[in-house]
């Protein structure tokens, strides 16, 4: 099975719970965000409409990050998830520059959020993301591999139930039936993340 995600923009309230939950679950270094929310404004005062877009790695079918990686550290799994072998990553940022979705992050240095002395949680989590290497969303691949049915951190945390994770073909069919779309289709990446639009008359 190839995995995908469907995000319903009608249900997203832009609260950043997904971003916080992701950072808590993975203990990413300062400046590294696997999940984030961007906002787009349309119209002019007083008729302004805002749409929040949860952003993450799009797990592209035609992943430019995998193609450009000089060491083979960026790998596309059989289930469609793109991961990084940190032992092979040299931090050259080629993948960061190639990604049209700004999904790749660079782990800058060894410091934590409170300086060089790491707290207990940072001590536990940081060895999985060495400084000087790239980092990104993996659809919580470690939870999938564990096989215990644990939901993706961002999916579990969303108070509006905006995110659905599962079989890509099923989610794609639902998206296409409801006017869904992929981001930047002109890039030819064929993302595994689909979005359901807001209604035109919805603020």
pTM: 0.92
* Domain harbouring 177, CATH code: 3.30.70.20
The domain tally of the chain equals: 1
Q: Is residue 117 part of a domain?
A: yes
Q: Is residue 202 part of a domain?
A: no
Q: Please give the residue range of the domain that contains residue 156.
A: 3-196
Q: Is residue 121 part of a domain?
A: yes
Render 32-71 in DSSP notation, one character per residue.
--SSEEEEEEEEETTEEEEEEEEE-----TT-HHHHH-SS
Q: Is residue 201 part of a domain?
A: no
Residue-by-residue pLDDT tens, the chain, 203 positions: 999 999 999 999 999 999 999 999 999 999 999 999 999 988 888 888 889 999 999 999 999 999 999 999 999 999 999 999 999 999 999 999 999 999 999 998 889 999 999 999 999 999 888 999 999 999 999 999 999 989 999 999 999 999 999 999 999 999 999 999 999 999 999 999 999 998 754 44
CA distances from 85 to 60, 73, 100 (A): 17, 5, 21
Q: Is residue 70 part of a domain?
A: yes
């Amino acid at each position: 099975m190839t995995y995908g995600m469907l995000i319903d923009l009608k249900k997203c309230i832009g609260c950043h719970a997904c971003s916080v939950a992701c950072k808590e679950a993975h203990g990413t270094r300062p400046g590294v965000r696997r999940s984030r929310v961007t906002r787009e404004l349309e119209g002019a005062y007083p008729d302004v409409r805002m749409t929040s877009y949860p952003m993450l790695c799009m797990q592209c079918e035609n992943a430019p990050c995998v193609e450009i990686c000089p060491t083979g550290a960026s790998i596309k799994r059989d289930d469609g998830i793109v991961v990084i072998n940190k032992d092979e990553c040299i931090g050259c940022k080629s993948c960061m520059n190639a990604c049209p979705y700004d999904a790749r992050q660079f782990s800058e240095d060894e410091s934590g959020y409170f300086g060089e002395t790491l707290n207990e949680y940072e001590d536990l989590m940081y060895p999985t993301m060495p400084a000087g290497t790239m980092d990104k969303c993996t659809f919580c691949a470690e939870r999938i591999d564990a096989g215990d049915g644990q939901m993706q951190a961002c999916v579990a945390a969303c108070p509006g139930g905006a995110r659905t994770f599962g079989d890509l073909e099923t989610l794609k069919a639902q998206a296409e039936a409801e006017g869904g779309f992929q981001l930047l289709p002109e890039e030819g990446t064929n993302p595994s993340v689909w979005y359901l639009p807001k209604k035109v008359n919805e603020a």
